[in-house]
Every structure is written in C-alpha cells, then in structure tokens.
Amino acid sequence: MPSRAIEELFATFGPNYRFFVSFTAMLGTISAVLTATMINVAVPDIMGAFGVGQDQAQWLATGFLAAMTVAMLLNDWCVRAFGMRATYIGAMAVFGFGSVLGGMASVLDLIILGRVLQGAGAGLVQPLSMVLMFQVFPPHQRGRAMGLFGVGVVLAPALGPTLGGILVDVDSWRAVFFAAIPVSTLGMLLATVFMPWRDDDGPRPAFDWTGLILLTLFIGFLLTGFSNGPRDGWHSPGVSIDFAVAAVAGCGFVWWELRTRQPLFNVRLLANGRFAAAAMITVVFGSMLFGSTYLVPLFVQTVQGYSATRAGLVMIPAGLAMMVLFPLAGRLADRVPPHLPIIAGLVTFTIASLMMTAAHTDTPFWTFAWWLVLSRIGLAFIMPTLSVGAIGALPPHLVSQGAGAINFMRQLGGAFGVNLLAINLDTRAAHYLDGFKSAQSADNPVTLHLLREMSRLFDQLGWPLHLQQPGSLLFLDRGLSAQANMMAFRDDFLIVAVVSLAAVLPAWWLGRRRPAAPAATAPQPA
C-alpha cells in the first residue's frame, strides 16, 4: 500500500506524479550507473598517469561495485529510519563528494576512495528507485515500470563508456568524475519537491551494525585475496589470511542474520524457491553486464588501438537497441511466464559472447558493434522479467527487503565478475606470453625472418646500426605481448559465455516453481 506521503503527493500533482517522481529517481540511478562504467575507458589513461598495472587499476571498477553492493543492503533501514526523501538526498550528497574527491585526487588511493564513496551513494539510490516505482505504479503496469527502471540500470552501462571516452579525449580522465555532479545536484533539488517524506512518527528501527561489519569484511577480504593471489602466490601467508578472514566473516554473517531481530539481509528470503532461483540468475546477470562492459572498452583500446571516444562509440548501437527493446520487454514481463524471456535472453547473450571469442586486432568496428547489439538484446529481455519475477514472488511487507536483496545480488555478481575477469586477464596474458617467448629462439625461422626484415626497415629509415637490433627485439616483444593480451581477452569472453549458459538451468527451474509465500517472513530473535 502507498504511504500517506505518497497519497498526499498524488493529491497535489495528480496522476502524472508517478512520472515526476520516477524521473527524479531515475536521475540518481542513471548518474550512478553511468559513473560505474564511464571509468572503464579512462582506465588506460589512469594506469599511465600513475604507473600502475591492471591488478591495481581494476579497483577503480571493483571498489565502486563492492561499495555499491554493501550500501544496497542499507537502503531498507535508511528508508524506514529517515524516509525516501532524506535517504535519496543523503545518498546523492555522498555520491557527489566522492565525485569531487576522485576528480581532484593526486594519488591513486584517493581516487579509489572517491570511487568507493560514489559506489556507496549509488548503492542507496538504486533499490530506492525500484521500491518507489512498485509503490506508485499499479500491479498491471509494474512490468512497464521495470522496463523504465531498466533503462537506467542496463542502458546507462552501454552509454557510459561513450560519454566517458568523449570526456577523456576532450579533457582528461578527471572529467569522468566531475561529469556526474550536475545530474546528482539536479536530482537532489527535485527530490525536495517530489520524493515522499517519512510519515511514521514512531522511533527509528534498530540497525544491524554487526551484519554490516561482517559483510564488509567478507567482501573486502575476499576481493583482496583474489586480487593479490596471482601476484603474491595463492598459498602465500597474506593471501591465506585474506581468504581465512573472508570465510569466517561470511559464515558469521549468515549465522548472525538468521538470529538477529533486524537483519541487514533477510537470509530467509532465499527459502522462497522462486526468489532463490531469481537471485542466482541475478548474480550471473550482474557478472555478465558489468564484466562485459569492463572488458570491451579495454579490448578495443589495448588490443585494437582505439581512442577512448572510439571505444565508447562502439557501444552506442547496443545502447540504441536496448532503448527500443526495453518497452517491449517490460510489456512482455506482464504477459508471459518469466522463465521464457529469461532463457531466451541468456541464450542470446551466450551466442554473442561466443562470437566475441573470435575477436582479433583487425576485427572491424561494425562487426564488434553487432556482437554487442546481440548481447544487449539478450540483457534487455532478462532485466524487467527477472525483477518482476523475483519481487512478485514476495508478500507486500517484504518487497522493500526483496528489492534491496535482488539489487545486492546483481551488484555482488558485478563486483566479483569484474574482479575475477581482470585477474584472469592478467594471468592468462602472462601464461600466453611465456609460451610465445619460449618459442622465440635461433632455431625459429619465422622469428629470424621478422628480425631481419625489421632491421632492414630501420636501416631504410636511417636508424644507427647499434639501435637496429634492440629496436627489432622491442618490436617483437610488443607484438608478442599484444598477441598474448588478445588471447587472454578471448578466454575471458569464453568464460562469460559459459557462465551465461549455465544460468539457463536455474531459469528453467524458475519456470517449474509455482508462486508461494516464503517459508518464514521474519527471523527469530536470538
């Protein structure tokens, strides 16, 4: 049921109020998700500016997504404690401060801190937007509303690299941080007019600080362990401690959430079979969405030599395709069993990812653009149906917790997807490079022919004799590195395809489950 504040706002602004408040909410969602992916095209520039490798640079994306993942679970408590208006404005203020800090920072650690603050603000906004739309739209229009919500959640990652690339080429990577400030400021101003306030005069609910600490430790140490493992060794003391702390914190989090009166994450939601299946698919969806959006700009910049703007432009056709398909997908979500469009979307995305495993240095612009269009067609049909199927399986009093949980699952998949794909990229590139270098010997006629031809070319260009051989060897080394990177990217695209296809099983199982109330709607006290 809508709150008293929403009823008063409907009385003030009429039926169009749902569109006014949806636009306000979507400003926050779009600015948050745009910022999540705009940074991807700036990663090579930031790596060059601070002299860091992929193992450190990936925290620009992973730190944002991890902070967003944790903050999403704060949404339900913040809304009940402070109301939607105060929560939205506060989240946008934190987001804006992180943008300013990241844009003005002179060391990488402060830039990552700025990204973490951006992620925290973004994490509070996204589930708030979803819950708000469920409250202001009637049940028969919720699929359409989820289609509108999906424009911000899925279309923005497609367009973010394009805008980010233009900003990087026109100005610098710092402009990627500053670009989000005007949109978030406008959202805060509109929120003072259209966002509903807290109309409950009772005491504010208790907060699960223990759960928050345990969850933060689990995600932080697990991501750190994965990041440090390839560099320090998987059995090194530091990495072993990271994984041990993560395991203890993760088990402790589940145990605590099952016993506390006010859980940060209601684990009992997963007792609902339909919600559990949807949650599994959502984790995969997040890894597909953010993982592929992270990989593609890096591939076309580092392997194909695209500029930041061109790297963003290759994703524009995919964004336009989703813009056309989301209204259709939203309507479809109201009319057909949820597992059918989800399975179709997963298979479509899998096919597109398999096509990307054939990418190489000379893959034409429009060929890559078509592969992305096909992949985004698949994602477009998954998002609205998945949201409706997951939250629609819950009773009304659990909708807010369900919205936070389903968004948490998507962002958790995104955080670990980007982290693991970036790690695999470095690991596989090093593996391929070692193999290629081992084949370069005095007995390899191809290598000798290449070195002779390069020396002859340098001689024609007027290079001194003593520089011709080092120059030829440097050219060979860079060529081998480029080939190793290309093969590593292919491996990552294959992993994305396999994970996407594996999600068909829980989607099929989702179609076999009948709607049912959760086995338990509230945790028992300790």
Helix axes 108-136, 75-104, angle to 10 degrees: 140
Q: Give 130-184 as a DSSP string.
A: HHHHHHHS-GGGHHHHHHHHHIIIIIHHHHHHHHHHHHHHHT-THHHHHTHHHHH
Q: Among positive and negative, which fits the CA dihedral 420, 358, 282, 68?
A: positive
Written as six digits, the tokens of 221 are 């140490």
Torsion angle of C-alpha atoms 306, 309, 311, 317, degrees rounded to 10: -130
pLDDT score at 349: 93
Specify the DSSP element, H or E, that contains 251.
helix 237-259
The pLDDT of residue 217: 93
Calculate mean pLDDT across residues 369-383.
88
Q: What torsion do the CA atoms of 244, 246, 252, 257 make, to the nearest 10 degrees?
A: -170
pTM of the model: 0.78
Identify the pLDDT of residue 110. Answer: 92
Confidence category of residue 148, pLDDT binned at 50, 70, 90: low
- Which is it for the CA torsion 86, 92, 96, 102, positive or negative? positive
Backbone angles phi, psi at 262, to 5 degrees: -120, 80
Q: What is the mean pLDDT of the chain?
A: 82
Q: Is the pLDDT of residue 494 over 90?
A: yes
Find the angle CA(103)-CA(408)-CA(347) to the nearest 5 degrees.
Answer: 100
Question: pLDDT band at 367, cuts 50/70/90?
Answer: very high
Per-residue model confidence (pLDDT) at position 40: 81
Higher pLDDT, 37 or 280: 280
Quickly state the pLDDT bin for 524 (edges 50, 70, 90): very low
Look at the chain and count its residues.
526
